[in-house]
Amino acid sequence: MFGLLKKTRISGAEAREKVAGGAVLVDVRSPAEFASGHLDGARNIPLGALRSRLDELSADAEVVVYCASGMRSASAAKRLRSAGFTAHNLGPLRAW
């Protein structure tokens, strides 16, 4: 299972390149986790609220998601792709 998740992740360098090119950076951790520290420019849309907050994201923009361990971001990327977004999973915050 973890090997499969790794294959769907992008590297920190790839994520930085995508964000520099206009991709939206989304932190899917809880508001408390986000408040304790996050990547500059990231939006906080917790995984549990993602479906109800899709309208906050442009369907034209690529999205890079991250969380604490990579599990929630993998789920978020999958949900976003299912909704028609081009989504990339950075995995854990430390991968940046």
Kindly provide the residue ranges of all beta strands, DSSP E only, lying in 10-61, ordered along the sequence: 24-27, 43-44
Tell me the CATH number of domain 2-39+49-95, given options 3.40.250.10, 3.30.2350.10, 3.40.50.300, 3.40.50.970.
Answer: 3.40.250.10
- Main-chain dihedrals φ then ψ at residue 42, nearest 5 degrees: -75, 145
Domain boundaries in the chain?
2-39+49-95
What's the pLDDT at 12? 97
What's the pLDDT at 7? 55
Residues belonging to the active site? 67
Cα 20 to Cα 67: distance, rounded to the nearest angstrom: 19
Write out the chain's pLDDT in tens, 96 residues.
Answer: 444 444 579 999 999 999 999 999 999 999 999 999 999 999 999 999 999 999 999 988 899 999 999 999 999 999 999 999 999 999 999 999
Buried b (16+ CB within 10 A) or exposed e, 28-37: bbbeebbeee
* Beta bridge partner(s), residue 88: 64
